[in-house]
Structure 1
Amino acid sequence: MKTKGKLVIGGSWRSLGLPAVFLLCLFFFLAGFLGSILFSNQDVSSARPRPMELKSVEEGREFDPLPHGGTGEDSLTSIPFQVLSWKPRALYFPNFVTAEQCQSIIKAAKVHLAPSSLALRKGETAENTKGIRTSSGMFISASEDKTGILDFVEEKIAKATMIPRIHGEAFNILRYEIGQRYNCHYDAFNPAEYGPQKSQRIASFLLYLSDVEEGGETMFPFENGLNMDANYDFRKCIGLKVKPRRGDGLLFYSLFPNGTIDATSLHGSCPVIKGQKWVATKWIRDEEQND
């Protein structure tokens, strides 16, 4: 109740009067509204980013395909991807192929593995470059694969990169065992170091054929201009790291659109600590290839 205009604590809520009740209701409404916004924003920020995706659709459903040219297709196709970096341009493709397809490629490659080799620069020899690349591997073209899986993979890579498949080298299937690695290097060949080049590697697509329990990441130490000084140790496993996951793909570009080498595309393979790493590499060039 009220005495001389003062509010008596403990009185009935009815004694507050209509204006006070209205203000209380408004207070609780605003508190609830602001709280819901706060928790809603918290949930969104903690959610895992969704890959960009537009699944293939049939004509007449979600989207209508346009009339196409003689080399085009009559259906819409899109592949989930995530931009990992713009310096260098690197994109990640989850579930690019199935586990069964990965296992089939490994099975075919196992019996033909040999120690991996290096493209040598001026003054280098196999002896003084020993230990830079310690994996085992083999080359196989899509036409040599009787299962048709590599043909499917090659076609999908062409769609992901929008570079015709005839520009791709044969697949290099690689196995890294415990302790094996590939020190930092460029996939493009600097003419000042390797001599004149008839064609140049534009991009690389890495298809991870196995999970790796520990280690084995693909790493970009110069991502976004980091570590680019004369004191950088090329044996270190630092920078942007991509963990191998079976069936996933990694695309990165070695050249800028003007054809010069992107210095931030330097990359390497961290040592495998536990398990094995299997990967199929497709190098893509600016000139047509005959494999």
Structure 2
Amino acid sequence: MKAKTVKGNWRMKKLGLPSVFLLCIFFFLSGFFASNFFSQFQEPEYDRRLTPRPRARLLEKSTEYDHLSKTGDSGDNYVTLIPFQVLSWYPRALYFPNFASADQCESIIEMARGRLMPSTLALRKGETKETTEGIRTSYGVFISASEDETGVLDTIEEKIAKATKIPRNHGEAFNILRYQVGQKYDSHYDAFDYTEYVPQKSQRVASFLLYLTDVPEGGETVFPFENGFNMDGSFDFKDCIGLKVRPRMGDGLLFYSLLPNGTIDPTSLHGSCSVVQGEKWVATKWIRDQEQND
């Protein structure tokens, strides 16, 4: 035992403490980098999905896809990236930040400002203008892209078609709306229940709202039945409760009124909360299941 101890001490003296320290550092770093290298190939699927990915600028033509196939006459020969966030699956609602520029929003407001009229309602069977007074108190005007000499609405309409994957000729004219303090729109459906309304030539599939101004307080778009809440029959359509989307200049909101089977999504009920401070401007594009002639 004594001889072994002496031999071990002799080796330690010959190697030296600094050399032992450097070897420890070498093996530690080697193990660290090796574990990182192999972990790239073993990353769980859910981690890859949750990792944020950098977004390209809106409507920026990418040069990274030179191998793309030749497109048809109506297709694009470049990749268009439009960032969005899924807000809800019930209803299917998606949020598009910075969908339009401030200049585009201001241009739309100016072309509509002098043409506003009190907003109207599509009346159900048995309803009258008098019995529905106070449900919708905004002012608005319908303007088609073909009327706009500046080309702003044409650009926005094309981008909405790319975002929704529904041809632009399925959209109604833009309904440019202004809500002042105290004005609102009680919760309602954009799609038409044919048992309650007069026959329609087509059905509204989806709605795209482009917010043209910031609203300091109030004016949110609200979905009171989101995820099946408040559907016990006691909900007051005047109430501003549920999933709320605050208006912000240039941002867009897309939601679908129909389920994939073509029936009305009961959770797509929505409204516009009363404006408390400021002024709300919004450009609404209703999209139908058939071509429109505006």
Regarding TM over 0.5, the answer is yes
SS at 1:197 equivalent:
coil
Determine the structure 2 residue equivalent to 1:244: 247
Superposition deviation, residue 66 in structure 1: 2.7
Determine the structure 2 residue equivalent to 1:190: 193
SS at 2:196 equivalent:
helix
CA distance in 2: counterparts of 1:57 and 1:170, whole angstroms: 27
Superposition deviation, residue 154 in structure 1: 0.3
Superposition deviation, residue 196 in structure 1: 2.5
Q: Which moved more, 1:151-160 or 1:62-71?
A: 62-71
Query: Contact 1:51–1:81 at 8 Å: present in 2 too?
Result: no
Large movers: runs of 4+ above 6 Å:
none
2:55 is aligned with what amino acid? E
Determine the structure 2 residue equivalent to 1:122: 125
**2:175 matches 1:172:** yes
Determine the structure 2 residue equivalent to 1:131: 134
Query: Contact 2:65–2:79 at 8 Å: present in 1 too?
Result: no
What is the RMSD computed on CA atoms of the aligned residues?
2.1
Determine the structure 2 residue equivalent to 1:53: 55
Structure 2 stretches lacking a partner, 5+ long = 1-27, 33-50
Query: Contact 2:160–2:208 at 8 Å: present in 1 too?
Result: yes
Query: Contact 1:210–1:244 at 8 Å: present in 2 too?
Result: yes
Q: What is the TM-score normalised by the length of structure 1?
A: 0.81
Q: What is the TM-score normalised by the length of structure 2?
A: 0.80
Query: Contact 2:219–2:275 at 8 Å: present in 1 too?
Result: yes
In structure 2, which of residues 259, 264, 275 is the aligned counterpart of residue 261 of structure 1?
A: 264
List per-residue Cα deviations over 1:144-172 (Å, max 9, x = no partner). Answer: 00100000000000000000000000000
In structure 1, which of residues 82, 85, 109 is the aligned counterpart of residue 85 of structure 2?
A: 82
CA distance in 2: counterparts of 1:140 and 1:50, whole angstroms: 38
1:133 is aligned with what amino acid? R
Task: Give the direction of change, closer, same or farther, for the CA distance of 1:244–1:112 in structure 2 (3 Å limit).
Answer: same
Structure 1 stretches lacking a partner, 5+ long = 1-28, 34-48
Query: Contact 1:53–1:81 at 8 Å: present in 2 too?
Result: no
Task: Give the direction of change, closer, same or farther, for the CA distance of 1:63–1:221 in structure 2 (3 Å limit).
Answer: farther
CA distance in 2: counterparts of 1:154 and 1:263, whole angstroms: 27
2:108 is aligned with what amino acid? I
Superposition deviation, residue 195 in structure 1: 3.0
Superposition deviation, residue 62 in structure 1: 5.8
Q: How many residues align?
A: 247
